[in-house]
Structure 1
Amino acid sequence: MQAQAILFRRPDEVALDSVTIPEPGPGEVLVEIQYSCISPGTELRCLSGKQNGLDDWPFIPGYAASGLISTVGPETSLAVGTPVFCGGTEQVSGAARGWGGHVSHAILEESNVYPLPFNLSLLDSSLAKQAAIAYHGLRLSRPQPSETVAVVGLGLIGQLSARLHAMTGARVVCTDLSASRVELARSAGLEAYQLQGSLFETLHQVLPQGADIVVDATGHPAVLPQAIALASDLPWDDTLTPAPRYLIQGSYDNTFSIPYVQAFYKELSFLLPRDQQPRDIRIIIELLAREKLHVRDLISAVRDPEQAATTYSELKTPDSSLLTAAFHWS
C-alpha cells in the first residue's frame, strides 16, 4: 500500500513523500499511525548527518509512534482496532527505513507492538519510547528517597528524567539556561533554577553537600567538568557512604573526555544507559495509564506532517519554544 512518510533526503533537507508498505504476512500487523513524536536530540543529529550507522539517504527518522491496528496477518492474536505503541515500520520500499517512525502506516511483527489501555491517550503514549529511555536511566542510577539528584539540562529527556527520579521520593533539583524550560519543570512541581554563571554557582547554595546523582541530559561535552563538580564528596574516614553516580542521558555525537582527577577524588561512577528495554516501555505505559506520570505538557505542538521541515527548523533554533512536537497522521 502507499503511505506517507517524513524523509531526511540529505543533511538538513526534510520532505514529506510517498513510500510503499507491504501488506502484513504471518505474525505481522499493520498499524495506522495516529501520532509520531520527535526525539529532538537523536533526530537532529540524524538530520545533520552525524548519526553513526544512518548514512543511506533518504531515510525515515523517528522511533516513537502510536496508532490503531488496521489489518492483521495470519497467526496473530491482536484484534483490528487495538490501540498500540510501536517504534516504526519494519519494512518499507521507496526510501531507507532508518528507524521508520514518522510514517502514516507501519508494518511490524506483532511481538514488537505494545497494546495500550483504551483509556490512554494516543498522543501521550507516542512519547513512551523517550520516557522509557529516561526510565532505563533511572533503573541504573537507583535513587533512594534520602538522596539528592541534580538534573542538568531540561530538554525532553531531562524533563522526563527529573519527573521519574522525583517519583522515587528523592529530592530533585534541576537547571537549564532556558527560562521557559525551567518554568515548565516548576509547573510540574520540580525544584528548578535558571542557570546563572556556572553550574556550581547556580546550585551550590541549594546543594551545599553536592548531589548523590548527577543526571547530565545536555549532550554537550563542555558541561562535564562543571556537572562533575556538583557531585558529592566522599569522606576519607571509615564512614560507609555510597559513591556518587553520574548518569549520562544526553545524546552525544561520538566521543567525550572525562576530567580524571575530578572524577577520581569523588570516586564517581559513570552510568551510560543503552536506549531502553521492552520492560521499560511496558512500565511507562502503565505509569501513563495510572496517571502517575504526566507528559502532555512536554509536547509543545501537534503538527501536520506537511509542517515537518518547518518543525525541525524550529527545533534547531537554540532558543526554540519547542521542547518536542508530535505529528498527527490521521
Structure 2
Amino acid sequence: MRAAAILFTAPDQVAYQAVDVPEPAQGEILVEAIFTCISPGTELRTLAGKQAGIPGWPLIPGYAMIGRVVYAGPATAHTPGELVFCKGTRRADVHLVWGAHLSHAVLPADQVFPVPVGVDPLEAVTAKLAAIAYRGMTIAHPLPHETVAVIGLGVIGQLAARLHALNGARVLAADRSPQRVEIAQRAGIEAFIPHGGLIEAFRQRLPAGADIIVDATGAPAVLAEAIELAKDVPWDEAPGRSARYLVQGSYPDAMCIPYQSAFRKELILLMSRDEGPRDLRTVLDLMQRGRLRTRDLISTVVPPEHAPEIYQSLNTQSDVLTAAFQWGR
C-alpha cells in the first residue's frame, strides 16, 4: 500500500514523499498514524549523516508514533480502533532509521503498547522520550534525601528533571536558554541560567555538591565542569555511596573523562541504554495517573508537509524542545 512519509534523502535534505508499505503478514498489524514526535538529538545527527549504522538514503527517521490500529489479524491481541504507541513501521521500500515518521506502519503485534484511557494522544507521543529519561533515573536510583544536578534542559533534560523529582530528590537544573529554564520552572523544577560559569552557579546552591549529575547535553566540552559538581568523598570516611554521573545526552562519538577529578570523587559513571517495554508502560501509567505531564515540551504541532522547516528550526533555535507532526484529524 502507498503511505506518506518524511524522508531524509541525503545529508541535510528533508522531503515529504510517498513510499510503499507492504500489507500486514501473519502476526502483524497496521497502524494509522495520528501523531509522531521528533527526538531532536538522534534525528538531527541522522540528518547530518553522523548517526552510526545509517544503512543508506533515503530513509524514514523517528521512533515515536501514536496511532490507531486499522487492521489486526485473528492471531493478534489487538482490535481495530485501538489507540496505541509504537516505534514505527518495520517494513517499507526505503531504509528505516527507525521508521516512525509516516502515515501507516506495519509491525509485529507484540511491538505496540496500548495507550491508557484518558491519556492525551499528543502527550502520549512523547512516551519514548520519557521512557529514555525514566530508564536513566532507574539506574541512577535517586533517594529522597539526595540532590540531583541536571545539565541541559532540552527535552531529555526536562524529562529527567521531572522524573528524578518524582522520586523525592531535590533537583536543580541549568541551561543557557531562558525559555528552557522557564519551562522547567513552570513544572516545579529549581532551574536557573548559570551566570558566571557552571561550577560557580551550582556551588552557590549546592555547596556540598550533588549526589547525581545528569548530563543531558551530549556536549563533550561540558564534561570536565559537570564532573566537578559531584560531591566530594572525605578521605577519613568509610566507603559509602559515591556520586553518580548519568549520561543521558546523545553523544555522537567518543567522550573524554577527566580522570583525576573522577578519581578523587570515586565517581560512578552510568550509561543509560535507550529504554525497554517496562519503561514505556511505566511512563504511560504515570501519564494516566497525572504524575507526569509532557504536553508543554512539544514546542509546535504541524502537518508533516512542514518537516523541512521544522528540522531547520530545531537546528537553529535553542528554544525549540521538540515538535510533533499531525497525520490525521
Q: Please classify the TM superposition score into its range, dividing by the shorter chain length.
A: over 0.9
2:18 — aligned with what? Answer: 18
| Counterparts of residues 1-330 of structure 1 (less than 5 Å) | 1-93=1-93, 95-317=94-316, 319-330=317-328
Q: Which moved more, 1:170-179 or 1:198-207?
A: 198-207
Structure 1 distance, partners of 2:150, 2:38, is 21
Q: Residue 183 of structure 1 aligns to which amino acid in structure 2?
A: E
SS in 2 for 1:79: coil
Q: Residue 167 of structure 2 aligns to which amino acid in structure 1?
A: T
SS in 2 for 1:68: strand
Q: Residue 320 of structure 1 aligns to which amino acid in structure 2?
A: S
Shift of 1:240: 4.7
Shift of 1:203: 1.1
SS in 1 for 2:106: strand
Q: Determine if contact 1:49/1:55 at 8 Å carries over to the other structure.
A: no
Q: Determine if contact 1:85/1:126 at 8 Å carries over to the other structure.
A: yes
Q: Deviations over 1:14-54 (max 9, x none)?
A: 00000111111211110001000000000000000000001
Structure 2 distance, partners of 1:66, 1:213, is 33
Structure 2 distance, partners of 1:96, 1:55, is 7
Structure 1 distance, partners of 2:237, 2:222, is 32
Q: Deviations over 1:98-131 (max 9, x none)?
A: 2001010001100000011231111111110000
Structure 1 distance, partners of 2:144, 2:318, is 34
Q: Residue 47 of structure 1 aligns to which amino acid in structure 2?
A: L
Q: Determine if contact 1:83/1:118 at 8 Å carries over to the other structure.
A: no
Q: Determine if contact 1:25/1:74 at 8 Å carries over to the other structure.
A: no
Q: Determine if contact 2:117/2:288 at 8 Å carries over to the other structure.
A: no
Shift of 1:257: 0.5
Structure 2 distance, partners of 1:180, 1:215, is 20
Shift of 1:320: 3.5
Structure 1 distance, partners of 2:198, 2:91, is 45
Shift of 1:241: 3.1
Structure 1 distance, partners of 2:37, 2:8, is 16
Structure 2 distance, partners of 1:303, 1:208, is 44
SS in 1 for 2:149: strand
SS in 1 for 2:249: coil
Structure 2 distance, partners of 1:194, 1:267, is 28
Q: Residue 69 of structure 1 aligns to which amino acid in structure 2?
A: V
Between Structure 1 and Structure 2, how many residues are aligned? 328
Q: Residue 169 of structure 1 aligns to which amino acid in structure 2?
A: G
Structure 2 distance, partners of 1:256, 1:35, is 34
SS in 1 for 2:95: coil
SS in 2 for 1:205: helix
> RMSD of the alignment, in Å?
0.9
Q: Residue 87 of structure 1 aligns to which amino acid in structure 2?
A: K
Structure 1 distance, partners of 2:43, 2:324, is 13
Q: Which moved more, 1:6-15 or 1:240-249?
A: 240-249
SS in 1 for 2:60: coil
Structure 2 distance, partners of 1:202, 1:104, is 46
Shift of 1:322: 1.3
Q: Residue 12 of structure 2 aligns to which amino acid in structure 1?
A: D
SS in 1 for 2:213: strand
Q: Deviations over 1:280-327 (max 9, x none)?
A: 00101100111110000000100110000000000001x433110000
Shift of 1:197: 2.6
Structure 2 distance, partners of 1:97, 1:236, is 52
Normalising by structure 2, we get a TM-score of: 0.98
Q: Deviations over 1:171-217 (max 9, x none)?
A: 00000010110011000011011121321111111000000000000
Q: Determine if contact 2:177/2:318 at 8 Å carries over to the other structure.
A: no
Structure 2 distance, partners of 1:24, 1:322, is 36
Identity %: 53
Q: Residue 204 of structure 2 aligns to which amino acid in structure 1?
A: Q
Q: Residue 270 of structure 2 aligns to which amino acid in structure 1?
A: L
Q: Determine if contact 1:85/1:113 at 8 Å carries over to the other structure.
A: yes
Structure 2 distance, partners of 1:312, 1:213, is 32
Q: Residue 2 of structure 1 aligns to which amino acid in structure 2?
A: R
Structure 2 distance, partners of 1:214, 1:235, is 19
Shift of 1:238: 3.3
Structure 1 distance, partners of 2:71, 2:271, is 39
SS in 2 for 1:101: coil
